A and B are shown apart, each in its own frame.
Chain A
Amino acid sequence: QKEVEQDPGPLSVPEGAIVSLNCTYSNSAFQYFMWYRQYSRKGPELLMYTYSSGNKEDGRFTAQVDKSSKYISLFIRDSQPSDSATYLCAMSVVRNTPLVFGKGTRLSVIA
């Protein structure tokens, strides 16, 4: 079993839809959870950062961590064509250690 599993998609939604992106993981020691967004031919950029369990909201984006289920989610409300990108989940056990990445989900938001 891979340490971090992420559905690669592609996922195609109409503009304005609510998008749900998910990752599951096997290592219960993970404590730091991140979502990165990567536009085509660019490097990943940090979108959301969560420590341990709970929810975090930033504008149209909400990150959720359920450590009991080893499951993290990113929700995008009122999705826009500019949200079209690959979304990567990443996690680590200890701060400042290398991240373990999911393979990324490719999202297309159609106007």
Chain B
Amino acid sequence: DVKVTQSSRYLVKRTGEKVFLECVQDMDHENMFWYRQDPGLGLRLIYFSYDVKMKEKGDIPEGYSVSREKKERFSLILESASTNQTSMYLCASSSTSSGRTWSDTQYFGPGTRLTVL
């Protein structure tokens, strides 16, 4: 089974702190994604990566950065946390395999609920 793990389920930080959210997948997937999920707004893409050291901006990258030094790990960084970044953060991964049609579906981690005070 594909497993995507996120470093924390719940996190409370202060305004202005630098925050690191870690995501690890164990299926050798090439692609990794960071989303945030807010009531009434749904899932919104922050950043994604198709390969090590590669990153692409999603729909709402402002205030965030990412790091992918190893294939299995994708980190989301809040350089200076603000209260409007209080949200559920979801990491996902997928394979670039050209085999079965299901092979490129995204698998999600359990999420990190971040509260910024």
B90 touches A101 (CB 8 A): no
B33 adjacent to A95 (CB under 8 Å): no
**Inter-chain residue pair count (beta carbon < 8 A):** 46
Q: Give 1 or 0 for each of B73-90: 1 = CB within 8 Å of chain A CB.
A: 000000000000000001
Question: Residue-by-residue, is B95-117 near A (CB-CB < 8 Å gives 1, otherwise 0)?
Answer: 01000011011111111010000
* A101, B58: Cα distance in complex, Å: 13
Counting chain A residues whose Cβ lies within 8 A of the other chain, the interface size class is 20 to 34
A88 within 8 A of B: yes
CA distance A19 to B97 in the complex (A): 34
Indicate if the CB atoms of B105 and A43 lie closer than 8 Å. no
The reply to whether A102 and B42 contact each other, CB–CB distance below 8 Å, is yes
**Given that A98-B33, A98-B58 are contacting pairs, would A46 and B42 also be in contact in the complex, using a CB cutoff of 8 Å?**
no
Residues of A within 8 A of B94 (CB): 96
| Docked complex Cα distance between A99 and B106 (Å) | 9
Chain A residues whose CB sits within 8 angstroms of the CB of B43 once the complex forms: 44, 88, 101
Q: In the bound complex, do residue B31 and residue A96 qualify as a contact, i.e. CB atoms below 8 Å apart?
A: yes
Q: Which of A8, A36, A98 contacts B48 (CB 8 A)?
A: A98
B45–A34 touching, CB < 8 Å: no
From known contacts A43-B90, A96-B94, A96-B96, infer whether A103 and B108 are also in contact, taking CB-CB under 8 Å: no
Name B102's contact: one of A42, A44, A49, A103 (CB within 8 Å): A49
Residue numbers of A with Cβ under 8 A of B are: 8, 34, 36, 41-46, 49, 51, 88, 95-96, 98-99, 101-104
The 3 closest A-B pairs by CB, nearest first: A43-B108, A103-B42, A101-B43
Interface on B for A, CB 8 Å cutoff?
Answer: 4, 31, 33, 40-43, 45, 48, 50, 58, 90, 92, 94, 96, 101-102, 104-111, 113
